[in-house]
Amino acid sequence: MMRTTLVALTCCCLATPLPALAQTSEPDTVDDLPPLLVARLKLANTLYDQDNLAAALVEYRRVQVESGKAPGLFNVGRICARLNRPVEAVAEFDKLLAAPGRTPEPRLEEARRLRDEQRARIGRLMIQTKVPAFIEVDNVAVGKTEVKVFVGAREEPAGNAVPDMRFVMAHPIEVANGPHLLAAVAPGHAPLRQQIEIGGGVTKEFELALVPAKGELAHIRVRTPVPGADIQLDGAPVGHTPIDVTLSVEAGSHELALQRKGYRTTTLRRDLGEGQTWDADVEMEEDATEMGWQAGDLLIEGEEPGSALSVNGKLRDFRGGSVKLAPGPHRIELAHSGFLPYRAEVAIESGKVRRLHVEMEATAEARHERLDRVSGQRWRAWGTLAAGALIAGGGGAYLGWAIKNRTQANHYFDQVQKDFTLTTGGCYQLSATDATTSQHCKAEQDQANDGQSNAKYHLVGSAVATGVGAAVLVTGLIMVLTIDDTSRYESPHSSLAWLGWAKSNGGGVAVAGRF
């Protein structure tokens, strides 16, 4: 079905400057954004309202990257704060406060409060190593110790004093207060991982003493569809799933264990040679015993009937719209023919119900097929409605004429009857005295009878036509009211956008969209 873009404009040109327009109460401006990005910003807001924070953050970031602007900064800051990312939250609030635009003052006050609150949760790490090393925090690469600093002198076995050097990062690492996994990796050295804790507003120094490796390092890639599982390597914590980095280890025997509430602990062992890479694909099974008392419920609303649900890569039965899940994060996916997969990450709390409203987007093929079919429905429905209105209108006019015609026919018939029945009538007993008059009276009587009969036929015919028209009209109205809903099949940019502007020489308002 062909889709056209309609733009309606109302403009005015004035000889004198217009007064300044009142500021909008919207916290996030969308000036000059193309319709597709406006729709994506609305989607981000919807995901935020649904508490689908990870997906909302992706959409906000995408709008910012593609537009070169920074809409949604307040919501992005709040999302980062809720996801325990105070460093990112402070950066987003600083951007908003540096260029507030038309953001209302109460929203700016809230941004200042949240920024100060998040800033108080930031700690700083100063890392030292004896050799240049790549530094990871919580399995995320954050930089390299490559700046030389002199920390004193040391004696060598020959008795010579040599400068003692260390390598540090150019800037401290800012992290959220709480526990973190700190790691250092350097060529030719055994990786070093250390669990640390840091408080907000605190700067702590750590020296990671890397030692030479006995040979070429081996590597472990941990892959599992279950998020939020604790990873232990040789009995020491090394992070949580999902983990994007490769774990470097010395050659030899290693034990990998993944554990999480509501799941059985999975343990794998492998002997690794120098330079070998182990792709550890870990399958985790729910623990039925723990699920009985720890589980929460995920209630899915608004999904396309007949959708298939997978949780952490496994199909789940959710007849009735709900499914029991272990507490913690889960990756869900809804699939249905004709729709793009809906993916989200949800957090389940033990004993509680987590509601998730889903809006699945149709594929281009399904959308065109559905819109074409609905277009045919509209043509038939409105055509039937118009035909019914035309028939009923014509039948009504015909009925009005028929009623008037019957009244006239009845009146004429009554007049003729009076001539035959009243002694003063012109046709009273004339058939016996005057043949011509009798013949004339007989013709009038026949005409009156025919007039009544014809009036009756017209009345019945007009009533039938009016009834048929009314039936077609009601059928058309029902067809119009039951046209299939196409909201799920509309393009993301098929929304209306109201625009307004004012300049010294005029102004106007416009509405644009796809219909």
pLDDT tens-digit readout, 432-449? 556 777 777 878 778 888
Do 223 and 307 lie in a common domain?
no
> Euclidean distance between the first and final Cα of the chain, in Å?
11
Among 47-61, 103-117, 364-378, the least confident range: 364-378
Q: Which of 305, 330, 362 is the last residue of a domain?
A: 362
Residue-level pLDDT at 374: 80
Residue-level pLDDT at 165: 82
Do 465 and 375 lie in a common domain?
yes
3-class state of residue 126 by DSSP: strand
Token match 């889960």: residue? 330
Q: Is 83 exposed, middle or buried (0-12, 13-18, 19+ CB in 10 A)?
A: middle
Phi/psi of residue 413, each to 5°? Answer: -65, -45
Do 269 and 146 lie in a common domain?
yes
Of 328, 315, 233, 333, the residue nearest 278 (C-alpha)? 233
Do 102 and 230 lie in a common domain?
no
Residue-level pLDDT at 446: 82
Residue-level pLDDT at 506: 54
What's the total number of domains in the chain? 4
Would 514 be classed as within a structural domain?
no
* Mean pLDDT along residues 208-221: 90
Do 309 and 386 lie in a common domain?
no
Asked whether the predicted pLDDT for residue 3 surpasses 50, the reply is no
C-alpha distances (whole Å) from 511 to each of 109, 195, 245, 300, 492 are 33, 57, 49, 35, 17
| Segment 262-290, tens digit of pLDDT | 899 999 999 999 989 999 999 999 988 87
* Mean pLDDT along residues 231-244: 90
Sign of CA dihedral 446, 447, 450, 451: negative
Token match 């913690």: residue? 328
Domain residue limits at 72? 18-119
Do 114 and 136 lie in a common domain?
no
Do 346 and 397 lie in a common domain?
no
Residue-level pLDDT at 276: 93
Asked whether the predicted pLDDT for residue 395 surpasses 70, the reply is yes
* Mean pLDDT along residues 360-371: 79
Would 94 be classed as within a structural domain?
yes
Do 172 and 184 lie in a common domain?
yes
Do 333 and 379 lie in a common domain?
no
C-alpha distances (whole Å) from 502 to each of 9, 18, 100, 507 are 14, 7, 21, 4
Q: Which residues are CB-contacts of 345 (< 8 A; sequence separation ≥ 6)?
A: 52, 54, 55, 227, 329, 330, 331, 332
Do 275 and 306 lie in a common domain?
no
Q: Which amino acid is residue 512, in one-letter code?
A: A
Q: Give the distance, in angstroms, between the CA of residue 381 and the centroid of all CA atoms in the same chain.
A: 31
Would 495 be classed as within a structural domain?
no
Across the chain, what does the average pLDDT equal? Answer: 81
Do 102 and 59 lie in a common domain?
yes
CA angle 241, 245, 247 (to 5 degrees): 95
| Segment 155-207, tens digit of pLDDT | 666 556 556 788 999 899 999 999 999 999 898 898 899 899 999 999 999 99
Do 185 and 74 lie in a common domain?
no
Domain of 81, CATH number, reads: 1.25.40.10
| Segment 18-57, tens digit of pLDDT | 333 333 323 455 557 788 888 888 888 888 887 778 888 8
At residue 234 the predicted structure's pLDDT band, cuts being 50, 70 and 90, is: very high
Would 310 be classed as within a structural domain?
yes
| Segment 288-338, tens digit of pLDDT | 887 777 889 999 888 788 889 999 999 988 877 889 999 999 999 999 888
Domain of 348, CATH number, reads: 2.60.40.1120
At residue 90 the predicted structure's pLDDT band, cuts being 50, 70 and 90, is: very high
